[in-house]
Amino acid sequence: MARIVTGIDLGLRNAKLLRGHAKGNTFRVTDFALVPLASAEIADGWKGLGLPFKPTGARIGLTGREVNIRYTRVPRVPDWQLRNLMRFEVEEIGDQSGSGVASDFNLLPTLPEIEGEDVVLLAMARDGLLEAHAEGVKSAGGSVESFTPNAIALYNAFLRYGVVQEETVLLANIGYDNTDVVIMRGADLVFARNLAGGSRLFEDAIAQRLQVSPSKACEIKETLVDLDPHARPSEALAERARDATKGAAGQLLGLLQSTVLFCKSQIKISSLKLDRVLLCGGGSALAGLPQYLSSGLSVPVDYFDPFRVVDVSALAPEKQQELEQYKLESVVALGLATMSADSATWAIEILPSALAKKRAFAQRHAWMIAAGVLALGWLGFDAWNTSQRLAVARRQATDLHTRLSKAQGTHQKTEQLIAQNERLATLSSALEFTAGSGEQLARALDQLETRLPADFWLTRLTSDWKADPELRVPRGAERPVLSFEGRAREGTNSLATLYQAFVSEFRAGQPKTASMREHLAPNGARFNIDLSVFADPAPESKAGEK
């Protein structure tokens, strides 16, 4: 049975929830709800939010001040080193903000204009905010799968349900207070951003110019305003309302233009040029807005309707009508649900600390636990099997006194058993030291995680089975030797002092039998450490020797 997932786009004016499951190359919608809200903060929308169904497997969209999206150009490094680089950056931001920060990152598709480097998209959100969302979903009887920036959900919705051609497209989801924007070149994501500003700009402009209430301004915006440069107002109030919104429309146009410029400066693609613009979101339904933006951007502007290829046959007729009415506002919710239903999508998945720890435990330790159970089962079987063979050998030894004719055969079998036991003993020794090598590596990584200074990092880490007389590992008695090299940020004060303190703490954390060799470059910027906890015992000092 297909897994049921829910995409949740929670805003200030309403919440959009879309539930369903993957069906071939499309998505089958089984439930939809749009719930009106009046919130000062997005996370406050969960208070008293009545939902017609439980949001199971929920992926929640983040936008506005809830999410911080950054771009970093980095050399092409191994995945573990890239994870460390991103972790250092997130920790630095968390220290500056004074609160816990959850994050995730992904590499943008390879850009031909950039050689030898990758562009990393890093998204961050406060732990407290994510936990507030998670509590809201839990109170509604649902469960949280992850959090994703709305812009990334937009990209996946276009990639799955849009018309993808060899062109540069800007897709904008215009909400009430925020606008989410992605720029794509063909099927490749180039830029994603969340902007402050949406349809509230138009309502505030009308309310201020015409001196009306916010609700009346919203009504005038939806019934009288037409931003099409070729449209002619039918009455004086409509003309005054359109004049009032021109400034807000110019602000929105400026936001989209600045997004393109910001993309060029951030990603360093000076030749980037839009071929067309697609709009969605409740704020994009303003009459004449596509024509106004088209005249300002000098490219075609149209609406993005992914529901033309989405299966909604499972919805009741009234729900189909509701989804049709609010299809522009539901694109992000569809993108979020699609990402949960298809693990192959280009994803950013931000998890609060508690959920991240649970998922990490399941991913890292489930196979280890299963392997341990299998190992114990095999050891039990091997012990039983060995005991059976031992019983046979004892019976044969007793029969030797009375069955002299079979003594030679029994002797040969005994020699075979001895040889096999020797091979097993050798294998057991190798397995013992292999397990010890893993323990040695785990202990060293734990020490490095807690004691390595902030301006130091590792550049190489190896574990070899070899001899090293200097570490008391003689030739012919090879043992696991752990070696790692590192660097320190040049210009850091007291590199040698920091290094010596680190080495002392690291050495103190190792077993007393461990043998360790370390070297620091004269400039203090490079260091090497070799370690083996399987070294032969150090010779005892004779009396009188220093």
- Domain 163-303, CATH: 3.30.420.40
Q: Does domain 432-532 have CATH number 3.30.1360.100?
A: yes
Q: Which of 45, 21, 51 is nearest to 33 (CA)?
A: 51
> Is the pLDDT confidence value at 546 over 90?
no
Question: 399-452 pLDDT, tens per residue?
Answer: 887 787 777 777 888 888 888 887 886 777 667 667 778 888 888 888 888 888
State the number of CA atoms in the 13 A half-sphere of 519 facing the CB.
Answer: 6
Question: 165-174 pLDDT, tens per residue?
Answer: 999 999 999 9
Find the radius of gyration of the CA atoms of the chain.
33
Task: Name which CATH class applies to 1-69+77-99+120-148+314-351.
Answer: alpha beta
Banded model confidence at residue 6, pLDDT cuts 50, 70, 90: very high
Residue with tokens 């359109």: 242
Element of type H or E holding 280: strand 276-280
> Is the pLDDT confidence value at 190 over 80?
yes
Cβ neighbours around 85 below 10 Å, total: 18
Question: 84-121 pLDDT, tens per residue?
Answer: 999 988 888 777 766 788 999 999 988 888 888 889 99
Helices in 235-311 by DSSP H: which ranges? 236-267, 289-297
Task: List the 26-36 sheet strands across, edge first.
Answer: 26-36, 14-23, 5-10, 58-62, 144-149
Identical fold between 1-69+77-99+120-148+314-351 and 432-532: no
User: Is 312 within 8 Å of 337 (Cβ atoms)?
Assistant: no
- State in Å, rounded, how far the first CA of the chain is from the last one: 75
> Is the pLDDT confidence value at 502 over 70?
yes
Strands 58-62 and 5-10, sheet pairing: parallel
Which sequence spans correspond to the domains of the chain? 1-69+77-99+120-148+314-351, 163-303, 432-532
More confident of the two residues 360 and 141: 141
Average pLDDT, the chain: 87
Looking at residue 544, its pLDDT comes to 47
State how far the Cα of 341 lies from the Cα of 57, in Å rounded to an integer: 9
State how far the Cα of 294 lies from the Cα of 280, in Å rounded to an integer: 15
pTM for the model: 0.66
Banded model confidence at residue 360, pLDDT cuts 50, 70, 90: low
Question: 209-249 pLDDT, tens per residue?
Answer: 999 999 999 999 989 999 998 888 888 898 999 999 999 99
Banded model confidence at residue 543, pLDDT cuts 50, 70, 90: very low
State how far the Cα of 6 lies from the Cα of 146, in Å rounded to an integer: 11
What is the secondary structure of 150-193 as a DSSP string?
Answer: HHHHHHHHHHHHS---SSEEEEEEE-SSEEEEEEEETTEEEEEE
Mean pLDDT to the nearest integer, 40-45: 80
Looking at residue 441, its pLDDT comes to 87
